[in-house]
Structures are given as structure tokens and as C-alpha cells.
Structure 1
């Protein structure tokens, strides 16, 4: 989501209770399973030591493994990383919103108290962040030292989500800082907690319809929110979104190889061959489970279950 404050429905629709399976539009063919989860995001950064310090001190991620110019980060003791950082010679810092591709990746905390602890932590260290209430979730927004966008958020219970017809209701409303901080009950932030997962990705694309051909019709996500200005939100299993696409960087080109950027993101499903067949059937070529969208953003399709 963005961080400006407005109601996507303009007050015209009467909210209705959200009931499982009662909202969204399924793709015409293959449909991603409800068991889908997201694996790590792989980022190219300009200075590995600087990025490591920031991701540790600000986000509270721990170093899990390191091999040369590549580092895997996650919560302490995690089996699978949330973020993979890699540095390549000559990589330059990027300006937010100047390229198609990554708008932000979003780290989902286990609950609201964890978000409250994180809010207090950011205040304690003087870190700047945007913040929004999206009805289905409450979120903070930051940029890393290379200008790459990051969201850290907590979901509201699904029983509190609302719909308008077949569409889930989301908005960008003011964030209630006192209420969120109070949920922490004074407990200190001790780093990214166990149970944290990669919640969603949000991408700048050149055209929403072309993006939907790839991510909805071929990859197999449901359309969940389609009336948000300049954006489309897609998910599996009734989730508010595993992926957002937007045209808010209209006219921008794709990322350059010598810039900080998203190298790939990861969709984890029980039967990756089914997803690959759907993408190939939709006219998109891939290799070793890796497929590029029309603007060059690479999604990896891998097999597996459970969580990191």
C-alpha cells in the first residue's frame, strides 16, 4: 500500500462482513493453493557491511549464513531467511520510485504487540518511518540505505476484514500510534521475533492489465482489491494480498543491472510444476523455475511447505 491517507471506496459502498471465500475473483485457469507462502527476497545492495548494520540495528534481523558477498538474514534461529543481501561491484544507490520493479517487500510480524514493540524501537533509535492503517493491517514503511522500500506490518484478524460486494476493503488511513504502542505493554524490542514471515511484495509495473495477465491469469493469484487508485492487489487462500502492483512510477524504466534492486522473490507451493505449466501456457518463458514479468522482475517458483 501507499502512505497517503484516503479511503479507496470514497464512502460510496456499505461495508459487509467478510466471510471466507466470499470475496475476490479467481483466475480463469490454474489457481494458486491456499497453502502458498512466500520465500525470501533477494536484493542487490551497494555496500554489504552498511546494509548488514542497518538490517540488524533497525529491522532486528540476524545473520543466518554468509558466503562471500552474499548474506542470508532472518529472525534468530530461523531455518529459512527472510532476506538475502548480495553486493556486486559498481552497484549504485537507487532513488525510490525512479524505476519499475520493487516498491517494497513486506515483513509480517506475528501480532500487534510485536508491531508495538517495533514502533517503540524505531522511536528509541530515532529512525524515520511512514505509517498507515489499511483496515486489514497496520503498517510501517522504511527505506534501507540503498533506497529499497520495506514495510513491516501486523494483520488484523480476518474476522474484522470487510468487503464491498466481491472486493475486500482496504484503505490508507492514519496510524493509531498510541494504541499500537500500548499493545506492547511496555515489553522491549529484542529483535525480529520468531514466527515472522515474508507477508507480501508490492511492485511498480508499467501497466496493470499486462501485470494481471502475468500474475493473475498465468501465475494464478486471485484478484482481491481492484478499485484502489492505480493499483491491483492479488492473493491466494483469501489473503488480502501476497502481491500488490501499481502504476505510481508511470513512465519509469526497469531497474539497471548496476543499481540496487530486487533480484528475485519467491513463491513456495506444494506442486511447482503446476505453476510453471500455467505460466508457460500463458506465453511466459522460464528456466529452472524462474520467470520474469513483462518488466523484468523475476519470481522463483519452488516447492515446499511449512514456515521458516
Structure 2
């Protein structure tokens, strides 16, 4: 079958949090997102160009762990300089880091929000610099050169005004119950392309030759249950298709695979085999 459209992207990620009043300062002050809309227990954050994150308060929500669901969502900034500016602000706001990696195709900062939802903020290297071996992309996990990253700011005293407006949701990484089952769904039912396996417990799929739009892992355990509705974590995430014919092609492919879905406000809602909910829709310009 034909692959999913090469301009497919990941869109808004919707998360459950225990206390919206606690989460909003973290996402606006530490991460640098803008509050675009707030109504009741729901807030939408992003940049002046696009919404990226929806937070829904669920008082008393329990911490995540030992289930399928979010491993991290990943904000892609447009340059190494912008990653350095984010890094500086995170240091100045005394944000707790979880790690730093050079993945050969990208450079990444890892952290968690106040509820334990995982976050990656990263920049991509130019595609022509991505390492290939026998026609296959090779992503690695090497230490990030923080001294070199911070050096991008030398002679650039511009004040921090938030994360760059051209930041997008670069990818999402999910805990799944079975890696082969998840890859079969995302590749054979939705049309993403397999990029690579990372050991026996993680895999990456993408559209249009990107290094990955969706990461899949069984690091929470094989066969683990879906996350409880009462837990913080992922509600759903969007897969954005560039136009209606591209969306129709995916829904037709799902129908041929026997994948049930719901229709809601020009969107198609489907759960992957690990009950991670996906909203498929046409991207708005």
C-alpha cells in the first residue's frame, strides 16, 4: 500500500495534569510557551504561530508509571542557537534536567513537567549530515556537548522572550505493550515507514524520510496495561495530514485493515493497540 503523505506531521498533544495553576507557570516561564486560551479546567499553549499543547486539569490525578502512554513529547526548535537559548532559560529557572543527548541527527534536552510528563526539546541537524549506512539512517545516543551548545550564545545578549515562534511538535514517543504489534499498526494500518530499531525494545517510524515522527518502546514493560483514566499523562495526540485527500487515504487504509474509528468535527479518532488515542485531521494553514 502507498505510504502516508510525506508532509504528515505531529500536531497538538493533549495532557492530563493534576493542577493547572501549578502547571501553567512551568510551561510559560520555564519552557517559554505562550498561553493561547484558557477556559475552565482547560488551557491551550503554543507559540504565536500554532497551538502545541493542551492541558486539562484532573484534580487528584495519580502519577504515571508501569503503563502504556506518553514517554515524551518533543518540541523542535528551528536552530542550534534557539536550543541554546532554551537551555540558558532552563538553567536560569532552575529547571531539573533528566538528560542530554546527541542523536547524530539531532541534539536534545530531556526533562519532565511537574506531573512527570516527559518532555524533549531538540534541534535537527541538516538532513545531508544525517549518518547513513547501507541506505539506512543511523541514529545514535552520544553525550551532548553542553559547552559548545552554550557557546552559541557568545556575543548574543538578546533577552529571553519565550520559545521561538517557529517551534513545532517534532515527534512523540510512546510506551506501548508490544513493539511488533505497535509497528504493524503504525506502518501497515496508518502508512508510516519503519526507520530503525533501537535494540529489541524501541522502534522509530516516520513520514517523508524524517528520522522519526513517532517513537515506540516497551521500557515500561511488555504487556503492560493502558494508563488509568484517573492518571496524569496522555489524553491524545494529533497526526496532521496536509490536505483532505491525504487524510482520506489514511482512513481508507484503516478501513481495509479493519481498524475502527470515530468521526468528530472533521477529525478521525482512533486508538492504537496500546490504547494511545490519536486524532487524525487536516492541518490548518
Aligned to 1:85: 55
Aligned to 1:182: 151
Aligned to 1:23: none
Cα deviations by residue, 1:212-253 (Å, 9 ceiling, x for unpaired): 111011111111112444211111111000001011111432
The reply to whether residue 279 of structure 1 matches residue 254 of structure 2 is yes
Given the alignment, which residue of 109, 121, 133 partners 2:77? 109
Runs of 4+ off more than 6 Å: none
* Greater displacement, 161-170 / 179-188: 179-188
Aligned to 1:223: 194
Given the alignment, which residue of 165, 185, 191 partners 1:194? 165
Query: Could you tell me how far apart the structure 1 residues matched to 2:76 and 2:207 are?
Result: 16
For the 8 Å contact 1:136–1:160, the answer to whether it is kept is yes
Query: Could you tell me how far apart the structure 2 residues matched to 1:94 and 1:247 are?
Result: 15
The reply to whether residue 94 of structure 1 matches residue 64 of structure 2 is yes
For the 8 Å contact 1:99–1:255, the answer to whether it is kept is yes
For the 8 Å contact 1:35–1:305, the answer to whether it is kept is no
Alignment of 1:120-131 (within 5 A): 120-129=88-97, 130-131=99-100
Aligned to 1:260: 232
The reply to whether residue 205 of structure 1 matches residue 205 of structure 2 is no
Aligned to 1:250: 221
Query: Could you tell me how far apart the structure 2 residues matched to 1:156 and 1:183 are?
Result: 15
The reply to whether residue 301 of structure 1 matches residue 280 of structure 2 is yes
Query: Could you tell me how far apart the structure 2 residues matched to 1:235 and 1:81 are?
Result: 22
Q: How many positions carry a matched residue from both structures?
A: 274
* Greater displacement, 266-275 / 290-299: 266-275
Gaps of 5+ in 2: none
State the TM-score, normalized to the length of structure 2.
Answer: 0.92
Query: Could you tell me how far apart the structure 1 residues matched to 2:111 and 2:198 are?
Result: 25
Cα deviations by residue, 1:78-115 (Å, 9 ceiling, x for unpaired): 3x3100001134422334xx221110000000100000
User: How far apart are 1:179 and its partner, in Å?
Assistant: 0.9
* Greater displacement, 214-223 / 184-193: 184-193
What is the root-mean-square deviation of aligned Cα atoms in Å? 1.4
Query: Could you tell me how far apart the structure 2 residues matched to 1:163 and 1:220 are?
Result: 22
Query: Could you tell me how far apart the structure 2 residues matched to 1:233 and 1:60 are?
Result: 28
Gaps of 5+ in 1: 1-28
Partner of 1:93, secondary structure, is coil
Partner of 2:63, secondary structure, is coil
Query: Could you tell me how far apart the structure 2 residues matched to 1:172 and 1:221 are?
Result: 23
In the superposition, relative to structure 1, how do residues 236 and 219 fare at CA in structure 2: closer, same or farther (>3 Å)?
Answer: same
